[in-house]
Amino acid sequence: MKKQRNDSQIMQIHLSKTQRLLLLIICFLPLSIISSCTKEPGEGGLASISGKVFAHDYDKQGNLKAEGYVGEIRVYISVEGSSELLDDVRTQYDGSYEFPFLRKGNYQLWVFTQCDSCVNDQMPVVQKASITERKQRVIMPDFEINL
């Protein structure tokens, strides 16, 4: 006599402890990766920060010799609140600079200006920037420095 199939019967699968652990990892690892994908400020995004550096050049008597946008000035960037340098670039011939591929977050940018009464004869000029959208292009006010 043939046994009839009962739809209410449940097929039982016997798994070892290792197999159960592996099954849990396979099922829940993707969920934990997705939920932990909050990206911190820094490189790896689609936003950018750009601007220009304007310089004043004075003689020893304090008279203005020349002024204008200047190339080859180093501009630095870090994530606000971090002591680590994220990147630095040199300005182009027209004084422009850009930090591409940034993520949402708050940033600090700075350049150094000539300062005769300062340690090492220079001091930082600091600006803060905030990226709030994924593909945002932030254009900063001009940095003004003395040569």
DSSP state of 107: E
DSSP state of 31: H
Question: Distance between CA atoms of 49 and 128, rounded to whole angstroms?
Answer: 11
Spell out the domains of the chain, with CATH numbers in brackets: 43-146 (2.60.40.10)
* β-strand partners of 50: 98, 139
Please calculate the CA angle 95-61-92 and round it to the nearest 5 degrees: 10
Parallel, antiparallel, or unpaired for β 43-58 and 137-139? parallel
Q: At 133, which amino acid appears?
A: E
Q: Per-residue confidence of the chain (147 residues) as pLDDT tens digits? A: 555 555 555 555 666 777 666 666 676 656 555 544 667 877 778 999 999 999 999 988 889 999 999 999 999 999 999 889 999 999 999 999 999 999 999 999 999 999 888 888 899 999 999 999 999 999 999 999 999
